[in-house]
């Protein structure tokens, strides 16, 4: 089998599994493997089912973390009428089917903007040392 055939076969296999190998990511993984052989040995001791279950648990935990963050953001918006009004104003400009997905992004922007307005004039001066003589 020639090099072109091997490359084509590898690309086809990657497309089937959904795995996208990128050289920079592979380099990071290879570096980790070289630096932490004990950890790699422990991972190699797991069965495929155990690894799958661990990966699923990681995904569940990540989802719960995101849901918690989203919930906290919604509570913050609900507790601040000014922010809530601005979020609703911006969401009303969007098509109905996009509002749910856009809520978090819009709320983050409004909260950041609101925080910047509150902090204006309270920031430390750029230079706080002794006065410079002309």
Is 102 a member of any domain?
A: yes
Contact 110, 87 (CB under 8 A): yes
Is 131 a member of any domain?
A: no
Question: Within this chain, do residues 71 and 85 fall inside the same structural domain, yes or no?
Answer: no
Model pTM? 0.52
Contact 123, 117 (CB under 8 A): no
| Average pLDDT of the residues in 7-36 | 82
12 Cβ neighbours under 8 A, 6+ residues apart: none
CB atoms within 10 A of CB 107: 21
Question: Within this chain, do residues 50 and 86 fall inside the same structural domain, yes or no?
Answer: no
User: What is the token pair recorded at 63?
Assistant: 């989802």
21 Cβ neighbours under 8 A, 6+ residues apart: 14
User: What is the token pair recorded at 81?
Assistant: 């009428």
62 or 94: which carries more pLDDT confidence? Answer: 62
| Average pLDDT of the residues in 50-72 | 92
- Say which DSSP state 126 is in: S
Host domain of residue 44: 21-79
Q: Dump pLDDT digits (tens) for 111-133.
A: 888 888 777 655 555 444 455 45
Q: Dump pLDDT digits (tens) for 69-115.
A: 888 888 888 888 888 898 889 888 888 888 888 888 888 888 888 88
What is the average pLDDT value for the chain, to the nearest integer? 83
Question: Within this chain, do residues 105 and 69 fall inside the same structural domain, yes or no?
Answer: no
At 28 the pLDDT is: 93
Is 34 a member of any domain?
A: yes
């Amino acid at each position: 089998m020639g090099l072109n055939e091997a490359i084509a076969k590898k690309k086809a296999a990657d497309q089937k599994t959904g795995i996208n190998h990128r050289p920079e990511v592979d380099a990071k993984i290879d570096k980790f493997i070289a630096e932490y052989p004990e950890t790699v040995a422990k991972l190699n001791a797991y069965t495929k089912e155990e690894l799958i279950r661990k990966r699923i648990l990681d995904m569940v935990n990540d989802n719960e973390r995101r849901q918690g963050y989203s919930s906290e953001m919604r509570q913050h918006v609900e507790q601040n009428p000014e922010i809530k009004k601005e979020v609703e104003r911006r969401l009303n400009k969007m098509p109905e089917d996009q509002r749910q997905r856009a809520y978090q992004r819009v709320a983050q922007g409004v909260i950041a903007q609101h925080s910047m307005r509150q902090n204006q004039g309270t920031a430390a001066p750029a230079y706080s040392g002794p006065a410079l003589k002309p």
